[in-house]
Amino acid sequence: MVTVGRFRVHLVSDGSFAMDGGAMFGIVPKPLLERRIPADERNRIAMGLHCPLAEDGKTAVLIDTGLGERLSEKERDLYRVQRRGGLRARLAELRIDPEDVTDVVLTHLHFDHLGGAVVRNAAGRLAPAFPRARHFVQGDELETALYPVGERLAAAYAHAPECLEPLQGAGLIERLAGETSITPELRVLVTGGHTPAHQCPVLTDGGMGFVHLGDVAPTRAHLRPAWNQAYDLDPLETTEAKKRLLSRAEEEGWWVSFDHDHEIACGRLAAGWARTGGLCESHALDPRGRLP
């Protein structure tokens, strides 16, 4: 846990999975990558599913929701999914009930960020996992997910209708249009790059700050501005957004929080981070969220 003013930010996780190393690092040459990030026999690298939760006794803000429980057995094998009860079990360990979550901020609507926003109910149908929470998403991201144009977007958002429909049906979706202050302490910055309207939530209070980097810099290795995912729709936009956001985080001394690093949940940037990807202070994921 880290504190940001009056907020306690719990470093909880939906578990771990694995993705193709080439897809996660785009143009980075494999020999360079291999030295830093080991891949398994299927060229997959270990990834976390970090979903930080900030609470102050009155509000509980969850950032992203992980994979959730909707994947098929084949998909769980393909992505080497290990959840051990997932996010909801980790929240239960913190004595946080799904009904206590007041706000969910979704960086974007890919399956590994949106999937945990729904759960299967007793009737086997998908229902909101956090039934009292407002779910904040950029309007442009929602449009893209629901009405994808072209094969690439259609594949990237194939899961989205079945996840979004229960949330929309319950009136839980709040569409945002660009940079927005959700509360005096919580705002979102739109980065684009990875998806058309990818957003990063920033929490500030009492002179402290915390930014969740989502898929703009999903792991420590991605702190280097040119180390981007092949999944990025516009890697040049990611590079520019990353430089802007991380320079700001360094200036202000904010915690930077990683969605998919399999060991480190958040840290503070060390001088020279753009070259080394280094942190001067870091916090591991809460123990049960880590890989074995």
Question: For binding to Zn ion (CB under 5 A), which residues are involved?
Answer: 112, 215
Closest CA to 258 of 237, 280, 283, 240: 283
Q: Which is nearer to Zn ion, 17 or 210 (CB)?
A: 17
136 in Cβ contact with 182 (< 8 Å): yes
Q: How far is the CB of 260 from Zn ion (least distance, A)?
A: 6
- Residue 137 C-beta: closest distance to Zn ion, Å: 15
Q: How far is the CB of 107 from Zn ion (least distance, A)?
A: 8
Measured from the CB atom, the residue of 112 and 261 that comes closer to Zn ion is 112
| CA torsion through residues 249, 251, 255, 260, sign | positive
Return d(Cα 187, Cα 182) in angstroms, integer: 5
Nearer to Zn ion, 49 or 129 (CB): 49
What string of H, E and C letters represents the secondary structure of 146-203? HCCCCHHHHHHCCCHHHHHHHHHHCCCEEEECCCEECCCCEEEEECCCCCCCCEEEEE
Residue among 96 and 216 whose Cβ is closer to Zn ion? 216
Q: How far apart are CA 26 and CA 230, in angstroms?
A: 4
| CA nearest to 204, candidates 192, 227, 187 | 187
By C-beta, is 48 or 267 nearer to Zn ion?
Answer: 48
CA-wise closest residue to 254 among 218, 198, 207: 207
Contact 11, 285 (CB under 8 A): yes
3-class SS of residue 204:
strand
Closest CB 286 distance from Zn ion, rounded Å:
19
CB of 54 to Zn ion, least distance (A): 20
Closest CB to Zn ion among 112 and 237? 112
Shorter beta-carbon distance to Zn ion: residue 4 or 28: 28
The distance of closest approach from Cβ of residue 21 to Zn ion in the complex, given in angstroms and rounded to an integer, is 15
Minimum distance between the CB of residue 272 and Zn ion, rounded to whole angstroms? 26
| Terminal-residue alpha carbon distance, the chain | 20
DSSP per-residue letters across 24-66: HHTTS-HHHHHHHS---TTSEEEEEEE--EEE-SS-EEEE---
Torsions phi, psi for 8 (to 5 deg): -100, 125
